[in-house]
């Protein structure tokens, strides 16, 4: 066994040297930027106590940490004393502790898988009360077997066990389940309890718990046992009082967990509600921004042309992006009387005007129709021709002249 330990230690030293020699100092590898660590406020013992007394939330959280440390210490020391009494041989003791470590690892792995289901289905409150409940149930069974060994001897003898062996097995189950619940449920619950706190309370609370509660939980159980041993003379004589103290501590642990759950759940719901509203507002803002970006400014210009009947007709034609006229062209159109209108709306389909060749063909057809409908007798010396819609002067570039009110004045007075 010692040879394996020494070889593994040398292997660790070799790997450490190789990493620092060929990996850390390798210039070809990218260097990670050094991150500044958040400086925790340095709080003394008195400042930590004052902060714990002022905040009920942090005080309940501190009670959980202290209660776990004291409970595990009280149970583990008492159980190991009974374990040595049952297995006085070092080989038997080592063999049992090896099996105990194996069962602890299996139980912890299983609880790690189940913890996700427990948190999702039952919530933080149930997960936080599982560890003290397990300690309470197994603690009552463990100390009951020790204190009531004589009445239980005939009953346990039927199963081929003694009260001491039964107490050792129950104590082993207690330590296995309490440690597995601690790693899979208690530690996640403790870290999750800091989430809804503001930054200042979170930092100061963690500092106060690290300064006061962790040392108090680890040393509190040892101090209680030393006091009881000095008072009653031995650990066996102080066992009933240890059981009573354990019961009081676990009940206080359950009360603190229930109180913390009543504060933690509303804070988490409030935080989730605020984040949900922020998400909806962000989605609405992005949607509105996207719809506004989809709109563009479309320029329209007024164009005139002949329709199918030969009359002049005006219409607004959009200037499509990509073939829109320049600013100089728009100014020239405005100077010539063309009206340019800009409308802030979605781009419609462009209205195509008639081609120039089609317009020219229609003009030629209209002139031929006018020439065929006029008679030679209606021509005058001034070169005017009487058409169906009025007189047309050769010198007027084909623009129509309105008829006079009576036909007599029209025939007697030539057009100037």
Tokens of 17: 């040297």
Segment 397-401 mean pLDDT? 43
Q: How many domains does the chain divide into?
A: 2
Asked whether residue 331 falls in the same domain as residue 275, the answer is no
The answer as to whether 15 is a domain residue is no
Confidence class of residue 338 from pLDDT cuts 50, 70 and 90?
very low
Q: Is the pLDDT of residue 11 over 90?
A: yes
What percentage of the chain carries pLDDT values higher than 90? 6
**DSSP letters of 209-275?**
IIIIIHHHHHHHHHHHHHHHHHHHSSTTTTHHHHHHHHHHHHHHHHHHHHHHHHHHHHHHHHHHHHH
Type and span of the H or E element at 152: helix 149-157
Asked whether residue 269 falls in the same domain as residue 366, the answer is no
Q: Which of 373, 394, 411 is the last residue of a domain?
A: 373
- Say how far apart CA 242 and CA 248 lie, in whole Å: 10
Q: Is the pLDDT of residue 345 over 50?
A: no
Q: What is the pLDDT of residue 390?
A: 44
What SS3 state is found at 62? Answer: helix
**Its pTM surpasses 0.85:** no
Confidence class of residue 319 from pLDDT cuts 50, 70 and 90?
low
Q: Is the pLDDT of residue 410 over 60?
A: no
Tell me which DSSP letter residue 233 carries: S
Asked whether residue 57 falls in the same domain as residue 85, the answer is yes
The answer as to whether 3 is a domain residue is no
Selection from 56-65, 268-277, 297-306 with the highest mean pLDDT: 56-65
- Quickly tell me which residue has 């006091």 as its tokens: 227
What percentage of the chain carries pLDDT values higher than 70? 69
Asked whether residue 328 falls in the same domain as residue 202, the answer is no
Asked if 184 and 109 touch (Cβ cutoff 8 Å), the reply is no
Three-class SS of 367-412 = HHHHHHHCCHHHCCCCCEEEECCEEEEHHHCCCCECCCCCHHHHHH
| Strand bridging mode 390-393 / 384-387 | antiparallel
Q: What is the pLDDT of residue 203?
A: 82
Asked whether residue 311 falls in the same domain as residue 274, the answer is no
User: Tens of pLDDT along 59-90?
Assistant: 888 889 899 889 888 888 888 888 888 888 88
Confidence class of residue 35 from pLDDT cuts 50, 70 and 90?
low
Q: What is the pLDDT of residue 323?
A: 45
Its domain, for residue 350, covers: 295-373
């Amino acid at each position: 066994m010692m040879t394996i330990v020494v070889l593994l230690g040398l292997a660790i030293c070799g790997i450490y040297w190789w990493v620092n020699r060929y990996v850390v100092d390798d210039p070809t590898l990218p260097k990670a930027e050094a991150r500044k660590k958040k400086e925790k406020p340095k709080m003394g013992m008195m400042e930590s106590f004052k902060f714990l007394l002022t905040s009920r939330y942090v005080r309940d959280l501190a009670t959980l940490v202290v209660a776990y440390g004291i409970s595990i210490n009280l149970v583990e020391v008492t159980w190991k004393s009974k374990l040595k009494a049952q297995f006085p041989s070092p080989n038997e003791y080592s063999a049992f502790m090896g099996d105990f470590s194996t069962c602890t690892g299996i139980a912890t792995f299983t609880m790690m898988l189940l913890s996700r289901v427990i948190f999702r289905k039952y919530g933080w409150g149930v997960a936080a009360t599982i560890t003290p409940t397990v300690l309470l149930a197994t603690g009552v069974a463990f100390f009951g077997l020790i204190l009531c060994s004589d009445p239980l001897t005939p009953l346990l003898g039927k199963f081929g066990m003694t009260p001491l062996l039964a107490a050792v097995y129950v104590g082993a189950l207690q330590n296995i389940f309490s440690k597995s619940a601690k790693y899979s449920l208690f530690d996640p619950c403790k870290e999750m309890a800091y989430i809804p706190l503001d930054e200042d309370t979170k930092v100061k609370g963690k500092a106060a718990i690290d300064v006061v509660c962790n040392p108090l939980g680890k040393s509190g159980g040892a101090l209680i046992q030393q006091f009881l041993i000095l008072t009653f003379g031995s650990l066996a004589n102080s066992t009933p009082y240890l059981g009573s103290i354990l019961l009081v501590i676990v009940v206080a642990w359950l009360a603190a967990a229930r109180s913390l759950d009543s504060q933690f759940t509303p804070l988490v719901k409030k935080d989730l509600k605020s984040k949900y509203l922020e998400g909806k507002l962000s989605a609405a803002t992005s949607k509105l921004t996207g719809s506004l970006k989809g709109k563009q400014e479309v320029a329209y210009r007024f164009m005139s042309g002949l329709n199918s009947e030969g009359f002049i007709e005006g219409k607004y034609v959009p200037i499509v992006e990509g073939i829109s006229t320049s600013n100089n062209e728009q100014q020239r159109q405005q100077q010539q009387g063309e009206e340019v209108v800009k409308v802030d709306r979605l781009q419609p389909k462009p209205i195509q005007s008639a081609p120039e060749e089609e317009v020219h063909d229609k003009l030629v057809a209209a002139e031929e129709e006018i020439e065929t409908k006029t008679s030679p007798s209606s021509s005058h010396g001034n070169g005017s021709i009487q058409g169906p819609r009025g007189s047309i002067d050769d010198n007027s570039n084909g623009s129509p002249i309105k008829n006079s009110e009576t036909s007599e004045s029209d025939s007697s007075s030539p057009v100037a």
